[in-house]
Amino acid sequence: MNCSEARRLAVLFAGGDLSQDEAAELMAHIDYCPACAGELRNMRVALALVHDAAREDVPPPLPGDFSSGIVEAIERGRKQCEHTAAIAGKFPRWLRSAATAGAAAALVTAAVLPVREAWQEHRRSEMLREVMRGDTRKPSEIELPFRIVGDYRIEGPYRLAEWQQSSEPGIFAILHRPAPGNSPDRFVIDYLGEADRLTYRGFLWTPVIRNTLVSHIGSVDNVYIAVCRMPDSTERERRTISNVLIRKYKPYFNNGV
C-alpha cells in the first residue's frame, strides 16, 4: 500500500468505517510510515473536535406538546378534507376512473387505507401529476382593484420577494399574473389560506406551495401575495372566511388538498 492509498483509508478508519481487512492493511502501512500515522492522528483530532462541537451545539428541546400538536394537525386536516368533499358534492374521481389504467394502484391503496385517506392520497398524486404535465385549467381570475374580504382591507398584491412580513394573524392569497405584458392588473389566485402570523413560515412552509406553486407559475418573480391582516381574529374566524373565499375563487392549489 502506498501513502496516497493509506491516507484515503485513514480518513475512513478514523471514523470506524473500514472493514477488518482494510483496517489491517492500513495498520501494516502505518506501522512503518510515521507521516501517515500523523495524518491518521490529525484526522482523529478533527473528528473529536467535530463531536465536541456537536455536543456543544444542542438545539432547544421540542415543546412538550409537540406530538399532540401533530396529531391534532392530522385530525384537523382530515376534517377539512371531509368539508372539502362535502362542498365538492361529487364522487371522488378515483371511483369514476377505477376502470382506467391507474385503477389498480388506487384500488390497492384503497384496500389497505380507509377510503377517505385513499381518496386524499389519490387526489394529491393526481394533482401533482397534473402539475407535472403542465395542466392548463384556469383558476378564477380577478382584476385590480379588488376586494375579497368584507370589512377588512386588502394589502397588495406585492411581489413575494419584496413583501414585508407581519407578525399579525390574517388571511393571505398567493397570486400570479397570467399575462404580465398585456394585462398587468389581472391576477390569478393560486392559493388562499390563513395563518396566525403572516410570515414566510406562516404560509410558505407547506407542501403545496413549497413543492408545486413556484414550478407551476414558472418564475419566482411572478409570485405575488396579497394579505389581509386580522389582528384580533381567532383561527376559526380566519378559517371560516378563507373557506368561503376558497369556495368562491376555487384556487387551483386549494383544490382537494
Partner 1 sequence: MDNEIAELLSRARKGDMEAFRQLIDRCSRRVYSIAYRMTGNAEDSRDIAQETFIRIHRSLALIDDTRSFQGWLYRTTVNLARDFHRVKKRYAAVPLDSAEMEAAAVTPSPDDVSEYAEMTAYVKTIAGTLTAKQREVFILRDIEGLTTEEIADMLSISRSTVRVHLAKAREHMKNALMKRYPSYFTTSEPGGAL
Tell me the Ramachandran region of residue 139: left when phi exceeds 0, alpha when psi lies from -120 to 50, beta otherwise.
Answer: beta
Identity of the residue, 11 or 85, whose beta carbon is nearer to partner 1 in the bound complex: 11
Q: DSSP secondary-structure letter at 205? A: -
Q: How far is the CB of 248 from partner 1 (least distance, A)?
A: 28
Identity of the residue, 132 or 220, whose beta carbon is nearer to partner 1 in the bound complex: 220
- ∠ CA 11-13-19, nearest 5°, is 130
State the DSSP H helix or E strand holding residue 88, giving kind and residue range, or none if neither: helix 66-88
Amino acid identity of 34? P
Q: How far is the CB of 72 from partner 1 (least distance, A)?
A: 9
Q: Where are the beta strands (DSSP E) in 72-180?
A: 141-143, 155-159, 170-176
For 46, 108, 129, 246, the CA distances from 98, given in Å and listed in that order, are: 58, 11, 17, 28
Q: How far is the CB of 162 from partner 1 (least distance, A)?
A: 7
Residues that bind partner 1 (CB under 8 A): 8, 11-12, 14-15, 17, 30, 34-35, 37-38, 40-47, 49-54, 56-57, 59-60, 62-63, 66-71, 73-75, 77, 109, 112-114, 117, 120-121, 160-165, 199-201, 204-205, 207, 210-211, 214, 220
Q: How far is the CB of 113 from partner 1 (least distance, A)?
A: 5
Amino acid identity of 62? L
Longest dimension (CA), the chain: 83
Identity of the residue, 75 or 82, whose beta carbon is nearer to partner 1 in the bound complex: 75
Identity of the residue, 65 or 185, whose beta carbon is nearer to partner 1 in the bound complex: 65
Identity of the residue, 55 or 137, whose beta carbon is nearer to partner 1 in the bound complex: 55
Q: How far is the CB of 143 from partner 1 (least distance, A)?
A: 26
